[in-house]
Structure 1
Amino acid sequence: MKLFETTTEMGHEQVLFYQDQKVDLRAIIALHDTSPGKAMGATRLWPYVCEEDALRDVLRLSRGMTYKAACANIPVGGGKGVIIANPQNKTDEMLKAYGRFVESLNGLFITGQDVNLSPKDVRTIQSETNYVVGVYEKSGGPAPLTARGVLLGIKAAVEFCWQKQRLDGLKVAVQGLGNVGQSLCKYLHQEGVELFVSDLNPNKTEIAKILYGAKVVEPSEIYSLDVDIFAP
């Protein structure tokens, strides 16, 4: 990847790299567009195979946040943060160091919870910066609201395609049972759908099976199921 050419083509204002070897932190924050207001975007922690994958991810996600804010008519710009780490190696010291990284931008970037970060982790980050949303004692994690948005999107698609107001009786495949996926399964179960789920973590599929009566399939099989709706 040609860094400067790519960021120019995608319209980014700044891409910032941060490393703290004492706590094994490697992180990137991308600011796509701050003309509408401060850049806002959650932070995800992921064991990227290489640094280029992390950079590609943070660039596309930060640009996506600009578009999301514009579509929702919210006066903020698009940003995103990624921490390059194995979730099993996550520590409070690492998260606090990341909080100091966010704080160093003096409010230009506001972050929150994404993949492999919990509301508790966000609170740890907040101990070093004021520029965090989704703190556990206040608004809580965003997963239930994100899942609610997915549910409303599914309902709109069903009404458009089949002129149906209800989801009961439909077959829905949910790929990935993280915080959003589990919440989505809960909502879909309440709507009376027949659930099919897959995840690399068998503990998560077992939870969906017990709580929501979901049928568990192998990750490689989820794409070829005969279902009405696929929610990746």
Structure 2
Amino acid sequence: MFALMQSSNVETLHFIVDPETGLKAVIAIHNSKKGPALGGCRYLAYVDEESAIEDAIRLAQNMSYKAVLAGLPFGGGKAVIMRPAHVPNRAALFESFGRFIETLDGRYITAVDSGTSSADMDCIAQRTQHVTSTTEAGDPSPHTAMGVFAGIRTTALARLGSDNLEGLRVAIQGLGHVGYALAEQLHAAGAELLVSDLDSGKVQLAMEQLGAHPIACEALLSTPCDILAPCGLGAILNSHSVAQLRCAAVAGAANNQLSSLQVADHLENRGILYAPDYVINSGGLIYVALQHQGEALGTITAHLSRIGLRLTEVFAHAQAEKRSPARVADMLAERLLNVG
């Protein structure tokens, strides 16, 4: 654990166990130089405690990079709640987690993530003010999708020479809140959609509403397309899956898409342009961060437009230095985190 903390430069880890509610959680605070750590709360089943801790640490680092490259006055953190097999009272569990957050005196602000909802954030808000993505604050998913859509246009311009998505074949892996909202925007722009999801109902809906072509989950990565958009859980890109890819670029909403940084080099060697996940999917963070500060929707939308500009900067550096955009983005983020 300590080795992983050191390699990821995590500042602190915080643990809580509440037998009464079944709560077992960890909060990783990666960096707080720019402001309080902001990051979502995952509520998932894990095979063991070590996996949950590793998830929190890696995602917290991702959030620090995401925040600093988005120009936000926040650090990066992440919460992981290990979902128990039986939950007697979900509301009580999240209220207990809210009490835990309150003990950190504002050093960490939580938000929705995989497995959690605005209703869960409402429960947390009963015990602490250091929470966003509540029912009143609104769902950040549409804003994540807006940012990813803008990033796909930027990626298409950099790799294919045009940001016109008319007729472009985009393969979307995962049709959750962000993935489906992205699919809607791509459909409106005239893109041809190839979609997969473990939920056949979501695939059917995309077929009926968006004219999408269904692809089996295990076949999506090897299906020819212009852009692959991973929008599910992370680590979808590894040495084996990258060898199967038949796309010009990867640009999607999922966090931690790369199983390791070396995979980014494999993509580069294959001539596949990679849009670093924490750059392209920062729209949700931008929304929750600025909304938490009381900014108007117009200000938030204007800030979202900078995602494409940051990606353009990353791609330009990568091309000039003959390096993967993932390595360039890491370098830029670390440099900005160490300023001041």
Structure 2: where are the runs of 5+ without partners? 231-340
C-alpha change, 1:73 and 1:87, in structure 2 (3 Å) is farther
Matches within 5 A, 1:140-159: 140-159=138-157
1:133, distance to aligned residue in structure 2 (A): 1.3
| Separation in 2, partners of 1:195, 1:87 | 36
Q: Name the SS of the counterpart of 2:166 in structure 1.
A: coil
| Separation in 1, partners of 2:86, 2:207 | 25
Which of 183, 186, 206 does residue 185 from structure 1 map onto? Answer: 183
Question: Could you tell me which residue of structure 1 aligns to residue 125 of structure 2?
Answer: 126
C-alpha change, 1:61 and 1:87, in structure 2 (3 Å) is farther
Cα deviation 1:78-132 (Å, max 9, x = unaligned): 1111111169958111111111111111111011111121222212221111001
Contact 2:22 / 2:84 at 8 angstroms: preserved in 1? no
Q: Name the SS of the counterpart of 2:112 in structure 1.
A: coil
Q: Percent identity?
A: 38
Contact 2:77 / 2:108 at 8 angstroms: preserved in 1? yes
1:207, distance to aligned residue in structure 2 (A): 2.2
* C-alpha RMSD over aligned residues: 1.6
1:206, distance to aligned residue in structure 2 (A): 2.1
Question: Could you tell me which residue of structure 1 aligns to residue 110 of structure 2?
Answer: 111
Which of 31, 46, 49 does residue 48 from structure 1 map onto? Answer: 46
Cα deviation 1:38-89 (Å, max 9, x = unaligned): 1111111111111111111110110111111111221211111111116995
| Separation in 2, partners of 1:125, 1:206 | 35
**Which stretch shows the higher mean deviation, 103-112 or 82-91?**
82-91
Contact 1:198 / 1:219 at 8 angstroms: preserved in 2? yes
Letter in 1 for 2:99: R
Question: Could you tell me which residue of structure 1 aligns to residue 58 of structure 2?
Answer: 60
Question: Could you tell me which residue of structure 2 aligns to residue 213 of structure 1?
Answer: 211
Cα deviation 1:178-218 (Å, max 9, x = unaligned): 11111111111111111111111222222222221212221
| Separation in 2, partners of 1:33, 1:41 | 11
* TM-score, reference length from structure 2: 0.64
| 1:231 matched to 2:229 | yes
| Separation in 2, partners of 1:86, 1:165 | 45
| Separation in 1, partners of 2:223, 2:17 | 43
| Separation in 1, partners of 2:43, 2:91 | 13
| Separation in 2, partners of 1:210, 1:17 | 45
Question: Could you tell me which residue of structure 1 aligns to residue 67 of structure 2?
Answer: 69
* TM-score, reference length from structure 1: 0.93
Question: Could you tell me which residue of structure 2 aligns to residue 200 of structure 1?
Answer: 198
| 1:12 matched to 2:10 | yes
Which structure shows the higher helix fraction?
2
| Separation in 2, partners of 1:86, 1:199 | 25
Letter in 1 for 2:96: A
Question: Could you tell me which residue of structure 2 aligns to residue 23 of structure 1?
Answer: 21
| Separation in 2, partners of 1:120, 1:209 | 30
